[in-house]
Structure 1
Amino acid sequence: MPTANQPGRLRFSSLFCRVAGALGLAVGLFLGGDLLIHPLAGHSRDQLIECYNNQQSIVVAFKLWASEHSNHLPFNVSSNAGGTKELCRIGQGGSDWNEAAHFRAISNELASPSFLVCPNDHNRKPAADFQQFRQANISYLLRSGANVDLGRASEVLLVCPIDGNVLYCNGNGQFAIEAKGVPRPPLSCLWQRNESFRRAATQILILLFAAGLLIALGFALRRGGAAASTSIQEVFCRPASFFTRSH
């Protein structure tokens, strides 16, 4: 039989769950918003320089290749002329999802495939050589398209989804701490390539899910408290009603 103080306990538990859930939801939304605004983990300037040097080597290789192909980059040259134009798979922000094909085109100009992996990317390993080179051996995002060429100095060519370093078609670059107004890596790419982003996003999703469960539990307890209160009223009112009827 329900006790007289059971509804009070249920109401308190309901209130606690709803307040805790609301706080968790607020914290999760705040952290999620901050992660979307600042998706890249900060690194020291020395670490950024290592990444930047890799990107510079890649741009030099592209320029060497372009010097023999009317000053055009591989993804703007037909495969009949040794380019990779037909292999482009341009996605969000101009990032090419088939960048391995474009990097493979400059394999003779690029000394080693190790330049294609950011030194701060602990989730991807460089290929031993271009014979074993795959998409999984690339850290950097390559932008392609007709508007991305050596003649377009202001167009972004390479973006590091780990550090945020940016290199333009003319070879100039910006460190992550200086880059402004440049295309941000797509979230799907950050999820795939940036381990710290993926870990943080997973933790936030778990927090939001737990907060939602607490809020749902709070409302369930609230309904249970109302039902228990009604049940107790019936229990205590029955003798009185019986006594009234008997007289």
Structure 2
Amino acid sequence: MWTRCAGRSGPGRFERALTVSELLVLVAVIALLVWVLGPKAFEPVQTRIRTENCARQLRSIGVAFRLYAGDYGNLFPTALMHDDLWLTNCEDALVSAWRRLSNELATPRFLVCPGDTRFAAVNFESMTRSNLSYFMSIDASPAAPQMLLAGDRNISSNGVQIGPGFFDPGTNCILTTTKELHRGVACLLFVDGSVTRYRPSNPPERGPFLTIATNRLAIP
């Protein structure tokens, strides 16, 4: 099919337009490529979007921590809980600590990473460890702005995955990650409200590796 190009004059001023059959062939080729490549073709884009949404959620959580501290004598929820609770029943202590932020967060959906397979709780009262994606620092304080406060649960210590519960890093711990979330990236929230997308092979601005000695963590 040939059409005259609008706005031009003179002999031979024609441009070829696609026929319906050619358009159908083009659509079929695109559909075939999508079928052959499958969902994996879109994984990198989806991962980036989920990682960015996760970082945005953690920033909101950081605001919630600061609001809470403003109402409770410049203390985070963990500072108002007896230390023995973390040692004897870390799972319940972690859930309780996140519940203390319920007024500031308004909804428990902020506590599940968009890239996680876990589901958010219907409300804070029914929330359990399985409704959480983010660990919480037990020792973080508003007085230490560069301290790690919370983040994705796909963290590991010197390449060894950290299981749910109480984690005391010790002096030689180097924070690493697993590929369970964000294809090996962990979004980490610091006391100052900043969020780092951390991958040990791609060091963030805070240093080649994060060391977290003297900062105990509760892992969901």
State TM-score, norm by structure 2.
0.54
* Separation in 1, partners of 2:48, 2:66: 26
Contact 1:72 1:150 (8 Å CA) reproduced: yes
Q: For 1:108, what is the secondary structure of its paired residue?
A: helix
Aligned match for 1:149, one of 141, 145, 152: 141
Q: Give ranges in structure 1 of 5+ residues lacking alignment.
A: 1-41, 78-83, 194-247
* Separation in 2, partners of 1:89, 1:121: 25
Alignment of 1:11-160 (within 5 A): 44-77=47-80, 84-86=81-83, 88-89=85-86, 97=91, 98-122=93-117, 124-145=118-139, 148-160=140-152
Q: Which amino acid aligns with 1:112?
A: T
Deviation, 1:85, is 3.6
Contact 2:47 2:115 (8 Å CA) reproduced: no
Contact 1:156 1:182 (8 Å CA) reproduced: no
Q: Which amino acid aligns with 2:86?
A: R
Q: Which runs of 4+ in 1 moved over 6 A?
A: none
Q: For 2:72, what is the secondary structure of its paired residue?
A: coil
Alpha-carbon deviations, 1:179-223, whole Å to 9, x = none? 442258x9xx6xxx7xxxxxxxxxxxxxxxxxxxxxxxxxxxxxx
Q: Give ranges in structure 2 of 5+ residues lacking alignment.
A: 1-43, 155-180
Alpha-carbon deviations, 1:79-127, whole Å to 9, x = none? xxxxx24464169xxxx643211101111111210010000001x1100
Contact 1:88 1:144 (8 Å CA) reproduced: no
State TM-score, norm by structure 1.
0.48
Deviation, 1:59, is 1.3
- Looking at both structures, which has the greater relative contact order when contacts are Cα pairs under 8 Å and sequence separation is at least 6? 1
Deviation, 1:44, is 3.4
Aligned match for 2:198, one of 158, 176, 197: 176
Q: Which amino acid aligns with 2:55?
A: Y
More strand by share: 2
Contact 1:151 1:170 (8 Å CA) reproduced: no
* Separation in 1, partners of 2:84, 2:129: 14
- Percent identity, please: 25
Q: For 2:143, what is the secondary structure of its paired residue?
A: coil
Q: Which amino acid aligns with 2:102?
A: S
Alpha-carbon deviations, 1:6-40, whole Å to 9, x = none? xxxxxxxxxxxxxxxxxxxxxxxxxxxxxxxxxxx
Specify the alignment match of 1:210 in structure 2.
none
Aligned length: 133
* Separation in 1, partners of 2:148, 2:87: 14
Specify the alignment match of 1:32 in structure 2.
none
Q: Which moved more, 1:67-76 or 1:43-52?
A: 43-52
Alignment of 1:178-193 (within 5 A): 178-179=203-204, 180-182=208-210
Deviation, 1:151, is 1.3
More helix by share: 1
Q: For 1:47, what is the secondary structure of its paired residue?
A: helix
